[in-house]
Amino acid sequence: MSVKENLARIQQEIEQACKKSNRKIDDIQIIAVTKYVTVERAIEAINSGILHLGENRDDGFLSKYNSIGSKAVWHFIGTLQTRKVKNIIDKVDYIHSLDRISLANEIEKRADRTIKCFVQVNTSGEQSKHGVAPEQCVDFIQQLKEYRHIEVVGLMTMAPFTDDEEEIRRCFRSLKQLQEQVKALNIPNAPCTELSMGMSNDYKIAVEEGATYLRIGSSLVGT
């Protein structure tokens, strides 16, 4: 199916989830995760009306950026190795995987403007997942107060890949609660108004639980 057809179906499902949870569809952004598809398919996504593109490796990011450039808002959504920061820092708009001080230090050192960052939180407790532990999240963000080039716009998590809807909801709800805690602290560089959560298999649940950025790959652009 074309990206346009997939997008129409996804938007319809997001609208239904918004009605169910009394939310506005305008508050939700779709990031097309293009890490497994060609540059041509990413361009098709842009031509279908998608503004946000997400990549999880620096080489994939750069090859698509070189073809698309400023026509997209660029999100780095994968684990970011400290040594790779220099390759993307002057091109990326959002980083969704800030989870350690060494990475914050490198972003601060390499950036010449404010980088919008999501702090990644491991809400599921799975060892295979990256992210700060929920109980360490607030302290971690408070440590970033003096970083001039980092703005913590929100929090990001990945729910477990499971059919257990209640477990998925628990992960998303705990992230929402943490977001509200951080927001209430009124830290100047951590407005923390956004939630990056929900992928192809669970984005409807994520919308119901407060997501503002959905990271959708296979359902939208294929693999």
pLDDT tens-place string over residues 16-53 = 999 999 999 999 999 999 999 999 999 999 999 999 99
What's residue 1's pLDDT? 87
What's residue 204's pLDDT? 97
Give yes or no for residue 14 having a pLDDT over 90: yes
What's residue 128's pLDDT? 83
Arithmetic mean of pLDDT, 153-157:
98
Average pLDDT, the chain: 96
107 and 92 in contact (C-beta within 8 Å)? Answer: no
For residue 139, with 0-12 CB atoms within 10 Å meaning exposed, 13-18 middle and 19 or more buried, which class applies? exposed
Per-residue pLDDT reduced to its tens digit, 109-152: 999 999 999 999 999 988 888 999 999 999 999 999 999 999 99
What's residue 125's pLDDT? 87
Amino acid identity of residue 196, one-letter, is S
Rounded Cα distance between 223 and 147, Å, is 37
Rounded Cα distance between 56 and 119, Å, is 15
Give yes or no for residue 5 having a pLDDT over 90: yes
Rounded Cα distance between 169 and 205, Å, is 7
**Residue 192: how many CA atoms within 13 Å on its side-chain side?**
25
Domain 3-221 fold is TIM Barrel (3.20.20)
Strands (E), the chain: 29-33, 52-55, 73-76, 94-98, 115-120, 150-156, 194-196, 213-216
Share of residues in the chain with pLDDT > 90 (%): 96
Per-residue pLDDT reduced to its tens digit, 58-116: 999 999 999 999 999 999 999 999 999 999 999 999 999 999 999 999 999 999 999 99
Query: Which token pair is 127?
Result: 């060892």
Sign of CA dihedral 85, 89, 95, 101: positive
What's residue 186's pLDDT? 97
For residue 63, with 0-12 CB atoms within 10 Å meaning exposed, 13-18 middle and 19 or more buried, which class applies? middle
What's residue 129's pLDDT? 87
H or E element that contains 65: helix 58-68
What single DSSP character describes residue 212? S
55 and 93 in contact (C-beta within 8 Å)? Answer: no
Give yes or no for residue 9 having a pLDDT over 90: yes
Query: Which pTM was predicted?
Result: 0.96
Which band of pLDDT confidence, cut at 50, 70 and 90, is reported for residue 223?
confident
What's residue 155's pLDDT? 98
Share of residues in the chain with pLDDT > 70 (%): 100
